[in-house]
Amino acid sequence: MSEEPNYEQNIGFDTQEEAVQSTRPRLHLSPEFLSKRLHYCSKCRWIFENADLSIQDYPGKEYDFHNWAGLSDAAREGCHHCYVLLNTLDEEHILRLTGPDNLESQENTNPLKLRIRSYDRAWTGTPGIMTSWELHSVKQKLYDIHLEPLEDGIDLMANSLLLSFVLPTSWVDQCSATHPSCNARIRQDSRDRKPTRLLFVGDLVNPWVNLCETKTLDLSRTDYMTLSHCWGDGVPLRLTHDNYNRFLAGIEFSEIPKTFRDAIDATRRLSVQYLWIDSLCIVQDSREDWLHESAKMHHIYQNSYLNLMAAASSNSHGGLYSSKYPFLSIPFLVPLGDPRKPKIACYRYMNARREKLDNLTLFSRGWVMQERVLARRNLIFGKEIHWECHDSTGSESFPVGTALEKRQHTVEGQTDASRRTVWQIIVKNYSRLNLTFASDRLIAIAGMAAELGQLWDSVQYYAGLWSLHLRASLLWCSRKPSVQAKSFIAPSWSWASVGTEVQWFDADDFDGLAEVLQVDVVLTSHGHPFGPVTRGSIHLNGPMCQAKLVKTKYTEILCFDQDTEDAVSKADTTEDDDATTQSGFRTTVVLDHYPWSEQEMAAETDVDITVYVAPLQTDIDLKLTYSGLLRLGGLLLLPTGSFSGQFRRIGHFFIQDQWGMDGRRVYEERIARMRKEGKIQQKDEKPPGFVDREEWLKRDPFGNGVITKTLRSRYNSAVDLGYAGEISNFLGYIDRWAEEHRKLGIMDPNLGEEDVEAKGWYRYEIV
């Protein structure tokens, strides 16, 4: 007979500090202890074997349970259920509700109460059992017990899933065998885009790993895995020119950081012999090698057999596995009813509830988003292990996932409109993430851009924006002003030029107020069309006028030349125009950067600067239930001083008109007529007059649509209905501003060449 293990040596506090501060220890059970003593105490077994499952009324049937000391003792002795409960009960929450003295004085004498009732889990279509605890009349839900059969081949009680890797292996095997869409993500045209180097990890007993060059490997028949991880303050072991040959000969396991060691171990357990880790497979002191490998990053992750994600670790020393409360999230069996039909208890509340993946450390990093999106399969290591593939999700708490959950992060789309929407969502989510180097802003999203570019025929990519409906794409806006970068990252017209979250207003119908004429970008590397650029410019033809941007104590506002407006409105104004000029217009300003100095920003008095206002497009949104919405969007520009008509963007502005049902009915009729006449365009359809999409994009590559250059009285239907018509007022003001300046002979050297066909229209360039 083997000697009984010393369980007290296998249990301890996480840290000495926590042991001193906590009135109730968080238990840490060693793998040896769990594998030998995973069972139920007599009290848990009696309650579950005698539970009345016919009771559905709240709060259920009450059962006397352990007191705090008994619960801790039972957990120490290996009761899985007591261990989970001990780590699930939130002591701070209890103290807030029962008072600071009750827990200390009564925990050893007052038992917990377990309440059990059955209910219909309508959202999944299966029945369940709700379990809750009670102490001093304070009730708290604990977990659900799902009355559904356990999948074949998964033994929750035999060993730690983390150690045996049974569950991750079952996820991978099922995906490989039954998910054609996951396997189809490897495309024939990307098989040659393989990583230049991989790590050969061998088997579990191999004390070495070797760097190997893939030119001799047939990766179409050789599986490899990848690792996504946080660098933190730096990675202590990385590939350089100096250690290149030594890494080829072999890297001792003992010198490899813990996160990398765990990834190597996981790769071996899944019977895969090759692993790609960026810091060990890209020469870190070679800018040329980094650009070469980063250009095919999307292929590296897309062709990976499985991507391991060290999501809870902030650096290379944290490891894959959560060590604070190990095995807390593993679903456990309960002896309810027929023991031949095991039941899974897997959903918990309080501090042990299912973790949100987006809150994990790794997913705050910008580079990781495309790694997660492009990989066919992700094994995510947080407090528990999570699974994502193209067709399914799962976790240790929910091994088979739920019908409500699908993988949210994908690059796909069947129409121009859906692809545009996908890209806007990608950029919005990506732009809120952190990058160690701001200069990586375009290259860290290049893989997703390349993936979408393969699907989007006849559409070009320019520094984060796409050519189709480029005018609308220019109307991104920052959630808040950011600090302007000291060095060039992207043209000012690209969202990549700012360091904050960006978003778009999007609608199905639009009326173009400016025309995109030409786009020029210079790539940093000609072999990387979706990567960083060294400069870029966009040439447009559209209306423009001058205004004052004023910084007040609380906000920024646009002030227009009201004296000029009043003078023009009183001279040669028709009766129809009177209604348009009486109400004025209000603009909302969203700045990319503050254009003032630190001293001016700190000033208590108002500070202003002359800017140029360039309206680009009016979007028509009829999806609102009780009204319609017109939203004019445009750019705030400052002259560069290099050339006449050359500007840089500093912000975005918009004006909105909204109508009730009467206005909506009239506008629906007018919009239907304008669609038929081609005066406005639907973004998901080619405009009239073109045989097919190919001819349309050949003649109109930027999706400008039909441009009507008349500004005054453009949207008079709103005024006819008695509404303000602020957009019409604004466009009328630009028209009159240009006319008055022409009459007075006022020449603005910053404005570009004036359009001979339309008043107030100019050819200008944004850099």
Q: Which residues pair with 556 in a beta bridge?
A: 551
Separation CA 151–CA 600 (nearest Å)? 67
> If you write DSSP's letter for every residue of 348-363 in order, what string do you get?
E-GGGSPPPGGGSGGG
pLDDT at 129: 59
Number of neighbouring beta carbons within 10 Å of residue 145? 26
pLDDT at 120: 58
Helix (H, G, I), strand (E, B) or coil at 643: coil
Domain boundaries, the chain: 31-149, 166-321+356-395, 416-506+513-542, 543-681+710-749
For the chain, report the end-to-end CA distance as a whole number of angstroms. Answer: 80
- Angle between helical axes of 575-582 and 562-570 (0-180°, round to 10): 160
Q: How far is CA 49 from CA 44, 334, 520, in A?
A: 9, 9, 74
pLDDT at 630: 80
The answer to whether the peptide bond before residue 687 is cis (omega within 30 degrees of 0) is no
Question: Which of 309, 466, 459, 287 is CA-nearest to residue 388?
Answer: 309
Amino acid at site 367: W
Number of neighbouring beta carbons within 10 Å of residue 576? 12
Query: What are the tens digits of pLDDT across the range 595-625?
Result: 888 777 777 778 889 999 999 999 887 665 5
pLDDT at 677: 67
pLDDT at 616: 96
DSSP code, position 337: S
Amino acid at site 211: L
DSSP code, position 186: S
pLDDT at 33: 41
Could you report the average pLDDT of every consecutive run of 10 residues in the chain (767 residues)? 32 31 36 50 83 73 81 79 67 46 49 71 49 55 48 41 66 88 59 83 86 86 92 86 95 91 93 95 92 86 93 89 52 61 52 66 92 93 86 76 50 80 93 91 92 90 96 94 89 95 87 95 89 96 93 86 44 37 72 85 82 93 64 95 94 84 67 71 70 86 88 65 71 89 87 85 95
pLDDT at 659: 65
pLDDT at 589: 94
Separation CA 671–CA 506 (nearest Å)? 17
